[in-house]
Chains A and B, each alone.
Chain A
Amino acid sequence: MSVGTETQGGLSLHSSGWKELWRKEDWWAIWLGLGIVIVGYALFANGSSIKWIAVTPPKWSSLTQLGDHFAGNWQRYVVQFIGWAAVFSLALNALGHKAQEFIPSFVLLYLLSVAVIVIGQWSRANYYNVEAPLVALVLGLFISNIVGLPRWLDAGFRVEFYIKTGIVLLGATLPFTLIVWAGPVAIFQASIVSIVTFAVIYFIGVKIGLDRRLAATLGVGGAVCGVSAAIAAAGAVGARKEHGPIAITLVILWAIVMIFVLPYVSAVLHLNAGVAGAWIGTSEFADAAGFAAAQSYGGIAVHNVFGGTEDQAVWAFTLMKVVGRDVWIGIWAFVLAVIATTRWEKVPGQKADAAQIWWRFPKFVIGFVVASLIVTLATADYSLAEFNKTVNPALVAPIKDLRTWAFIFCFLSIGLTTRFRELAKAGAKPFWAFTSGVAVNVVLGFVLSAWIFAQHWTDLVR
């Protein structure tokens, strides 16, 4: 067991070993997500359900309809809010946040989420392509960049924590057999794109004169999992202090651009939902941004009858991004650390530690897989007809509704925490190196998703 060190002024916070289980948000996402799944299953097994608390605004076409819904269900929303606030407070308090800052922030986030879901459920929303994730993002960006909010309110806008909790819940709605069947293709396709994207960014970056550490940080940020990957790579290669913020700025800018561009182009090309989900999974730069794009396109594809389902877009994205790309960050960091310490900067006796492959493993993926296993095994004895009649409405659908809430919290938080004027200035050379990788990534991702593996992603839910 490791030694614990906690100091003031950001000096040194030690959270390795068993402490990780309550000092890292990945593990808290697992505890919360699996806790919901287990409680949901326990109630279902005893003839009850969590659907009472998993309330969401229904489809509506008149304000009277909407008013009647809230008049008849306001208690459910109050209890749901208290439930979310309680479990998130518990987790964030353990991570070091102050409850007195989180609660008012979460009140605002929850009220905005209700408004966003209501807008997304309007009967004419699909006609105007008003998708809830895009509304959440635009609303958040408007509030943070035009209206402005006090900095302390950021305590409740935990983008990564909400998306990880949502991904664990997503696991419960995704059959484990699907992960086993589609996972290898996702890993193969994602590996091709990741390696090519990294190589393009790195070699162009070095060619135009960037420091190798910055080029590597940019490359991994574009190739693997965005901001998280950039920070992991920066630490692994010993990047300079300014390199991390430069990579983060470029990841954020391109990730937000792609939230709008990828669904739009997919719609113009009438792509099947599964195909577009896979493309977004290979060509988005951050999990949270990618889920916003994939979920938006799922709605667009269903409304316009392009083929596929809303779930298909999200599942294909998840398999590609989370299983195909995110889980390899530890290996990327280790390999780069070996290169950095043996070729870029030789110091006698210096070597990279292979254990970082586990230390940096995105642990929430374990929760995603375990949630899928739990629900798949627990419902294995049901026929398809029984599943649709009994299991889906009482267990799977309510978990999916709670996942929707977690994702909307995340999408709003992206906008609410992205203050463009506060991002570091990237400079022309890093911009062009990264943008070259973006261009290759988007084209290669499209070719692999829409041509080479198109049938695989189209057949995903059959």
Chain B
Amino acid sequence: MSANRPKDRVGPVPSQPGGTCRSCAHFRNDPAWLERAVPGLASLGSAYAAVRDEDGLCLRHDRFTGARQTCPDRTPAARGPTAP
């Protein structure tokens, strides 16, 4: 992995042993946060809708991505997943 990879070359990839974007420090998908971060989202839409699934924003690559994806730049969040 290289921290200097161009942003456009780093795309979402399927789950890898290292974990998914859901538990990455760069990933944001809290609906209230998304509605503040994406202008107009709550006007004729909603971050709480089923169609969004668990998508969010990757702040490392400035891209929308799914929580089930992962990438070489994944950084485990300080607060990891809790037990089911």
Q: Which residues of A contact B (CB under 8 A)?
A: 1-16, 20, 23-27, 95-97, 154, 157-161, 225-232, 234-236, 238-245, 248-249, 251-252, 255, 285-286, 288-289, 329-330, 341, 345, 347, 349-351, 353, 356, 359-364, 414, 417-418, 422-424
Contact = CB atoms under 8 A, between A and B. Distances in A.
A231 B41 contact: yes
B52 A232 contact: yes
B40 A96 contact: no
B3 interface: no
A154 B80 CA distance: 31
Nearest to A288: B44
Contacts of A2: 84
Nearest to A347: B13
Interface in B36-57: 36-57
A226 B37 contact: no
A20 B50 CA distance: 8
Contacts of B51: 225, 228-229, 231-232, 329-330, 360-362
Report the interface size class on chain B.
Answer: 35 or more
A239 B65 CA distance: 8
6 contacts: A97-B32, A159-B43, A160-B45, A248-B44, A286-B45, A360-B51
A347 B84 contact: no
Nearest to A237: B64
A189 to B, nearest CB: 22
Contacts of B31: 13, 95-96
Nearest to B57: A241
Contacts of B14: 349-351, 353
A244 B38 contact: yes
Contacts of B62: 240-242
Given A5-B81, A232-B55, A359-B53, A249 B40 contact: yes
B84 A25 contact: no
A287 B32 CA distance: 21
B11 A227 contact: no
Contact of B41 (A3, A13, A248, A350): A248
Given A7-B30, A26-B50, A161-B46, 9 more contacts: A10-B37, A96-B30, A157-B42, A238-B63, A241-B62, A249-B39, A330-B51, A361-B50, A362-B50
A341 B37 contact: no
A424 to B, nearest CB: 5
Contacts of B47: 231
B33 A10 contact: yes
A245 B12 CA distance: 20
A11 B11 contact: no
A231 B48 contact: no
Most buried by B among A10, A27, A234, A243: A10
Contact of A227 (B43, B56, B68, B77): B43
A342 to B, nearest CB: 11
A4 B22 CA distance: 10
B67 A14 contact: yes
Contacts of A364: 50
B12 A9 contact: no
Contacts of A154: 42
Nearest to A287: B44
B33 A9 contact: yes
A223 to B, nearest CB: 14
A5 B53 contact: no
B30 A13 contact: yes
A54 to B, nearest CB: 26
A225 to B, nearest CB: 7
A287 to B, nearest CB: 8
B10 to A, nearest CB: 9
Contacts of A23: 48
A243 B64 contact: yes
A234 B29 contact: no
B39 A423 contact: yes
Given A10-B30, A238-B65, A239-B64, A5 B45 contact: no
A284 to B, nearest CB: 10
